């Protein structure tokens, strides 16, 4: 994949925006389906809580979440209109930096697309009441992408997630936050506690990366009352280190199914190409010599390891759940597994089908031509393999 010019030296932002693009489009099409057969218009909102724009050198705002959001929402709106479904799509952009807001306003003043746009000047936390009044009880997708962590406090996010059909994607700036967690300064500690939504002495200082992200996801579910949450890693384009983690949260299990599909496509496949190109350009700059532009296809090595380890761990976790809870419907199991492990719904279907074939588990009402478990299928451990996965 060729890195667009407006993402030069911003490979991590390109990866983040590819995740946003694919998730937002799928979210819009899925939520828009609720409009079928309804007399009233179904309204969908996109809320960019830290809109910027940042490092946008031209008036088109290419390479920004503002432009990406409007482009994907327009596709959603036009797609539903072609099907005769009455859907209204609006966007809210919040920005506190006066210079950035001026550029944002100028862009939106000249915008002629189908999405209804609103620009709010100020900090995200200061404009929450205005946002709530505007969107009412409508479905909404929040994109929370701060430059650090201030302003993205858990309580700010919570106030917009108490209504059904609300999803949130949060950029947790792991590389930045991880450096400050051991910091003993009171102001730093207090701001980090607010970000994680914890009280004094509840912020751990000794968790590894995955442990810290699980801690954040658990708090997001608890404090913001979202039923499901998952995360994925985004590495620095030419350094093998996590730069940030994107966290999804929502009330429907489909959020994790969709998120894991996007993760495989973007983090598994596209990021490998982006990072290969970024590293090649860095080598060329250092050596002063060009290299052959070889198109290398394949999966990102780190994602592949997470995925392979996740498949093994998912089987063990399934056995553990069934041993503890007894028989369970598949629809109760798969969201929990996908939240925890970096595997897709298709991966899990293959795992469960293989466990049935090996008679580790039994599945009630498995039809003769059935190839994968159905949501209503009931799973339980076989008597002979009750110690499987140990």
Name the pTM for this structure.
0.92
Helix (H) / strand (E) containing 95:
strand 87-95
Query: Residue 292 above 70 pLDDT?
Result: no
**Span 208-233, pLDDT tens digits:** 999 999 999 999 999 999 999 999 99
Q: Out of 2.30.30.140, 1.10.10.10, 3.40.50.720, 3.40.718.10, which CATH number does the structure's domain 301-381 have?
A: 1.10.10.10
Among candidates 387, 380, 343, which has minimal Cα distance to 365?
Answer: 380
Q: Which fold has domain 5-281?
A: Rossmann fold (3.40.50)
Confidence of residue 36 (pLDDT cuts 50, 70, 90): low
Alpha carbons 195 and 215: distance in angstroms, whole number: 12
Query: Residue 95 above 90 pLDDT?
Result: yes
Task: Look at 179 and 118; give whichever has higher pLDDT.
Answer: 118
pLDDT at 204 (0 to 100) = 81
- Domain pair 5-281 / 301-381, same fold: no
Taking residues 34-55, report their average pLDDT.
79
Q: Where are the domains of the chain?
A: 5-281, 301-381
Alpha carbons 179 and 174: distance in angstroms, whole number: 8
pLDDT at 390 (0 to 100) = 44
Contacts of 257 (CB under 8 A, 6+ apart): 334, 335, 338, 344, 345
pLDDT at 293 (0 to 100) = 58
What are the strands, taking DSSP E only, across 278-373?
A: 328-329, 361-363
Confidence of residue 60 (pLDDT cuts 50, 70, 90): confident
**Residues belonging to the chain:** 390
Widest CA span in the chain: 69
């Amino acid at each position: 994949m060729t890195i667009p010019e407006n993402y030069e030296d911003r490979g991590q932002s390109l990866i983040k925006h590819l995740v946003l693009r694919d998730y937002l489009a799928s979210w819009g099409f899925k939520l828009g389906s609720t409009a079928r057969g309804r007399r009233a218009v179904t309204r969908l909102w996109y809320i960019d809580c830290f809109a910027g724009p940042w490092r946008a050198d031209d008036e088109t705002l290419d390479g920004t979440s503002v432009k990406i959001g409007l482009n994907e929402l327009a596709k959603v709106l036009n797609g539903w209109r072609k099907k005769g479904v009455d859907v209204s799509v609006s966007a809210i952009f919040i920005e506190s930096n006066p210079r950035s807001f001026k550029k944002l306003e100028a862009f939106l003043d000249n915008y002629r697309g189908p999405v209804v746009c609103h620009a709010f000047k100020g900090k995200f936390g200061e404009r929450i009441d205005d946002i709530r009044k505007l969107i009412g009880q409508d479905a909404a997708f929040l994109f929370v992408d701060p430059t650090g962590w201030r302003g993205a406090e858990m309580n700010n996010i919570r106030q917009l997630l108490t209504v059904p059909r609300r999803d949130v994607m949060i950029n947790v700036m792991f590389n930045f936050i991880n450096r400050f967690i051991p910091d003993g300064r009171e102001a730093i500690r207090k701001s980090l506690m607010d970000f994680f939504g914890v009280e004094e002495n509840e912020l751990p200082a000794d968790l590894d990366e995955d442990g810290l992200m699980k801690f954040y996801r658990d708090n997001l579910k608890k404090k913001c009352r979202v039923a499901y949450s998952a995360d994925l890693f985004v590495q620095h384009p030419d350094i093998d280190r996590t730069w940030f983690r994107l966290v999804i949260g929502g009330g429907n299990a489909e959020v994790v199914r969709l998120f894991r599909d996007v993760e495989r496509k973007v983090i598994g496949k596209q990021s490998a190409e982006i990072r290969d190109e970024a590293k090649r350009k860095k080598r060329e700059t250092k050596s002063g010599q060009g290299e052959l532009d070889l198109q290398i296809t394949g999966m990102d090595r780190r994602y592949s390891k997470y995925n392979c380890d996740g498949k093994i761990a998912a089987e063990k976790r399934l056995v553990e759940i069934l041993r503890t809870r007894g028989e369970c419907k598949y629809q109760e199991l798969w969201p929990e597994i996908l939240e925890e492990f970096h595997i897709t719904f298709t991966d899990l279907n293959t795992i469960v089908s293989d466990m049935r074939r090996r008679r580790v588990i039994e599945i009630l009402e498995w039809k003769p031509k059935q190839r994968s478990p159905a949501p209503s299928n009931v799973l339980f451990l076989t008597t002979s393999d009750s110690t499987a996965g140990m």
